[in-house]
Amino acid sequence: MDLAKIKLGVVELIKKAEIELPDDVVAALKKAYDSEEGLAKIQLKNILDNIAVAKKTCRPLCQDTGVQTFFINAGVDFPNIGYLKTVITDAVRIATEKVPLRPNTVDPFTKFNHADNVGDYIPAITWDFVDGSDVFITAIPKGAGSENMSKLVMLSPGVGLEGVKDFVLNEVVNAGGNPCPPTVIGVGIGGGADLAMKLGKTALLRPVGVRHHDKKIADFEKEMIKKINDTGIGPMGIGGKTTVLDVHVEKAPRHPASLPVGLVVQCWADRRATMIIHKDGSWEVK
Amino acid sequence: MAEYNLNIPLKKSDVEKLRVGDVIFVSGYVFTARDAAHKMMLEKDASKIPFDPSIMGLYHCGPLMKKSGDGWEVVSAGPTTSERMDMFEDSFIGKFAVNLIIGKGSMGDRTKKALQKYICVYTLYTGGAGALAADKIQEVKNVYWLKELGMAEAVWIFEVKNFGPLVVAIDSHGKSIYDQVKNKIKRG
């Protein structure tokens, strides 16, 4: 298996995620543009023009190219799983030069900015294992404007789901224009503190407009979309009908005494791209 | 809601006529400054600043730049979240006589008061529209403190043409579009 070729594939994956938004996100933004007027429409026009310019000129949509974040579903029969972490890390270094990416990894203690977007635990990789021999890597580079609005809360179970709704709504209202709305909101409910946040981020992998397969959760999502859009915060926080493009919820069982909620905010530039690597080393980026 | 094309530096009368919700396009020089640059410039003696901030717009931006020959090319350069600069901005406007700020998100009451006191305006450029913004930057004139602060935090001087549309989000009369939105919010 040619690992150098796979490495180039991962560079392509990062490039695609940084430059081109998924069709579902673009469709949702176009729909929002059609429904807005005045200053809100100006914001969405800039957003749509920006998407076109980035694609045409092959430049990152946003100067904040984010922290490189990957979710991997590795087929257990894929022959070279052990090398993938090194391959991805090297690819991030190459992409930093080639795409290019802004140097976005600062050591909290020394303030040293690793010029190559790599450091302890970074790129952030979440592993899962699936049947078969294909590996699926999804890149979701995450910018700080939206990530700074993400939050964990450990609610008292007594507040119930209504308490979860209040928390999410309050946080979105308080965030205002900071996370570059219209946003996509990921909510993880249950598990422990770490799992709730992880579920919130995993929820962002689902395409915009796709509801949870569990009807109860789908209804919760629909209710939150309406509630948040009814606030009128609007694109960039200056008023309008579209504050969120979507709300995605994932849940895990909770401890009887806990109700953790992980809120992960994603900006309108809901960057996402997926690569499939086959066991012979061939790959495609979608 | 009025629309204007303005040259930087904005005249005092330009700033005074701008009202929340107006849309402007600006041409001239802007300098980028995020939190680290604000802090550094505030700590320095004004005479030690190697450029004249008072004749430029202040752009809250940490651009993505690429070396090109002897110079630099702007790859993507949209606004960064302005709220992080709120803690510095009143002193900054006072010290450097800036009268045009370009950013995104919102700024707090301290800045709002300073905009009124010093006759300055805070405008919004669409967050995330970095590729589009880069297209409107004509030239990279200079960069300061690149080594100390790094690419995103350094102060870059750009020449811009018809940069916008910028929405007047907080004017020099104490009005903020964010207050207006907040006051209208319906919660469930």
Peptide bond just before A256 cis, omega within 30 deg: no
The answer to the question of residue A238 being in a domain is yes
Contact B88, B110 (CB under 8 A): no
Q: Give me the residues paired with residue A229 across strands.
A: none
Residues A149 and A253 in one domain: yes
Residues A278 and A258 in one domain: no
Contact A236 B126 (CB under 8 A): yes
The answer to the question of residue A258 being in a domain is yes
- Determine the Cα–Cα distance for residues B98 and A147; give it in Å rounded to an integer: 30
What residue in B sits closest to A102 (Cα-Cα)?
B64
Peptide bond just before A182 cis, omega within 30 deg: yes
Residues A160 and A262 in one domain: yes
Contact A239 B181 (CB under 8 A): yes
B9 touches chain A (CB under 8 A): no
Which residue in B24, B65, B74, B81 has the most chain A C-beta atoms within 10 A of its own C-beta, making it the best mutation to test that interface?
B81
Residues A135 and A163 in one domain: no
- Determine the Cα–Cα distance for residues B177 and A52; give it in Å rounded to an integer: 28
A237 touches chain B (CB under 8 A): yes
Residues A150 and A262 in one domain: yes
pLDDT digits (tens, 9 = 90+) for A193-205: 999 999 999 999 9
Structural domain spans, chain B: 3-184
Can you tell me which residue has the tokens 């901030």? B53
Catalytic status, residue B38: yes
* Confidence check: pLDDT of A1 > 90: no
* Confidence check: pLDDT of B1 > 90: no
Q: In which band, very low, low, confident or very high, does the pLDDT at B187 lie, cut at 50, 70 and 90?
A: low
What residue in B sits closest to A101 (Cα-Cα)?
B64
Residues A137 and A275 in one domain: yes
* Confidence check: pLDDT of A150 > 80: yes
Residues A135 and A201 in one domain: no
pLDDT (mean) for B96-122: 97
Residues A164 and A249 in one domain: yes
pLDDT digits (tens, 9 = 90+) for A208-255: 999 999 999 999 999 999 999 999 999 999 999 999 999 999 999 999
How far does A82 lie from chain B, in Å, by closest CA? 33
Residues A85 and A214 in one domain: no
Query: Alpha-carbon Rg of chain A, whole angstroms?
Result: 19
Q: pLDDT at position B186, please? A: 66
Chain B residues with beta carbon closer than 8 angstroms to that of A145: 80-81, 104-105, 127-128
* Confidence check: pLDDT of B188 > 60: no
Which DSSP category does B83 fall into? G
CB-CB: which of A64, A144, A177 is closest to B106? Answer: A177
Chain A residues with beta carbon closer than 8 angstroms to that of B68: none
A92 touches chain B (CB under 8 A): no
Contact A177 B124 (CB under 8 A): yes
User: Which of A110-114, B54-58, B137-141 is least confident?
Assistant: A110-114
Q: pLDDT at position A113, please? A: 85
Contact B134 A180 (CB under 8 A): no
Contact B130 A63 (CB under 8 A): yes
B152 touches chain A (CB under 8 A): yes
Helix (H) or strand (E) segment spanning residue A50:
helix A38-57
Complex-level ipTM: 0.96
The answer to the question of residue A124 being in a domain is yes
* CB interface of B with A, residues 38-97, below 8 Å: 61-64, 66, 75-78, 80-81, 83
Q: pLDDT at position A80, please? A: 86
- Determine the Cα–Cα distance for residues A58 and B137; give it in Å rounded to an integer: 17
The answer to the question of residue A183 being in a domain is yes
Q: Which among B22, B32, B33, B38 is annotated as catalytic?
A: B38
The percent of chain A in helix, strand and coil, each rounded to the nearest 5, is: 40, 25, 35
Which DSSP category does A212 fall into? P
The answer to the question of residue A109 being in a domain is yes
pLDDT (mean) for A22-46: 98
pLDDT digits (tens, 9 = 90+) for A56-67: 999 999 999 999
Interacting residues of A211 by C-beta distance below 8 A, sequence separation 6+: A218, A221, A222
The answer to the question of residue A128 being in a domain is yes
pLDDT digits (tens, 9 = 90+) for B168-182: 999 999 999 999 999
Total domains, chain A:
2
The answer to the question of residue A160 being in a domain is yes
Residues A177 and A245 in one domain: yes
Structural domain boundaries enclosing A106? 3-16+61-141+271-285
- Determine the Cα–Cα distance for residues B48 and A280; give it in Å rounded to an integer: 61
Contact B130 A60 (CB under 8 A): yes
**Main-chain dihedrals φ then ψ at residue A270, nearest 5 degrees:** -80, 75
How far does B73 lie from chain A, in Å, by closest CA? 12
The CATH class of the B3-184 domain is alpha beta
Contact B125, B166 (CB under 8 A): yes
- Residues above pLDDT 90, as percent of chain A: 97
pLDDT (mean) for B141-154: 95
What value does the mean pLDDT of chain B take? 96
Residues A95 and A175 in one domain: no
* Confidence check: pLDDT of A110 > 80: yes
CA A200-A202-A204 angle, to 5 degrees, is 80
CB-CB: which of A113, A144, A227 is closest to B188? Answer: A227
Residues A8 and A99 in one domain: yes
Is pTM, for the whole model, over 0.90? yes
